Amino acid sequence: MANDNPMDNIDDWEDNLKERYPDPEATKKEKEEFRNYVDSERVDTVKEFYRVNHINQTYRFVCEKEKEFLKFDKKEMSLWDAVDFLNTLVDDSDPDIDLDQFQHLLQTSEAIRADGHPDWFVLTGFIHDLGKVLCLFGEPQWAVVGDTFPVGCKFSDTIVYPEFFENNPDTNDDRYNTKFGIYTPNCGLDKVKMSWGHDEYLYQILKNHLPEPALYMIRYHSFYAQHRENAYAHLMNEKDIEMFEWVKKFNPYDLYSKAPVEPDAKALRPYYEELVSKYLPSSLKF
């Protein structure tokens, strides 16, 4: 298994998403307002990231990571401690934006709040990326971020850089390389193992605390092969189809709320402290 970590900047993956799924409103802005998402160095970095990701995200790997991290014995802290912990991931080399994770999360959640959505939806926007604390427990970024996809069945050719799955051991394993693999038709996504990363990790931490639509948003917000390409409908049941309307509603806030205007974190914190205390316990096990 490769141990290299080809992506130095955790924003590279998110920027690549914006290139693949541009904001429809973006064409109204001047070109110079945007980061150059097609810069060859950035594209090469993301491509190498997915090469390593696609080779190593096997069914066995996911099972091993679940055993390692779902014991929740790495650290116990409040959500606010987790936000502060995550702030150490700020990359000073980012040329376009100088916001720590708290401020970036606020941009997502404040955009949701401005549109009048329920408070649990606002909270989901605020916390949806907290699973990235995995990076601070020694996990390489290819096992933390990136588009997610089912393991235990054939990899869809709609997944970004599908050619790299050729070197994934599961591609040549008869248990896992058919359309349904180890699953049954319309079995439901709760029975399907997803590639390991911050989405599944945070879902497992919070699954007893938030409304079901919020949990779907957290668990599947990086599952672009489904909520953009509809590539795994054959594994979904009726509840999944219903809940994915929430995932699709959340996605634009996740992708397009990042802006260079710094939120007034000090003024906003009391509102979010009250919101967090409404839904979450005083401490969480990571």
Q: Is residue 118 part of a domain?
A: yes
285 vs 79: CA distance, rounded Å: 10
Per-residue pLDDT tens digits for 74-121 = 999 999 999 988 887 643 333 344 566 778 789 899 999 999 999 999
User: Which domain does 114 fall in, by range?
Assistant: 11-280
Q: Is residue 3 part of a domain?
A: no
Q: Is residue 1 part of a domain?
A: no
Tell me how far CA of residue 284 lies from CA of 176, 205, 226, 270, 278, in angstroms: 35, 8, 30, 20, 14
Could you tell me the pTM of the whole model? 0.85
Tell me how far CA of residue 67 lies from CA of 55, 61, 70, 208, in angstroms: 20, 10, 6, 19
Query: Tokens representing 281?
Result: 């316990």
144 vs 199: CA distance, rounded Å: 8
Q: Is residue 2 part of a domain?
A: no
Number of domains the chain is built from: 1
Q: Is residue 18 part of a domain?
A: yes
Per-residue pLDDT tens digits for 237-277 = 999 999 999 999 999 998 876 655 678 888 999 999 999 99
105 vs 128: CA distance, rounded Å: 8
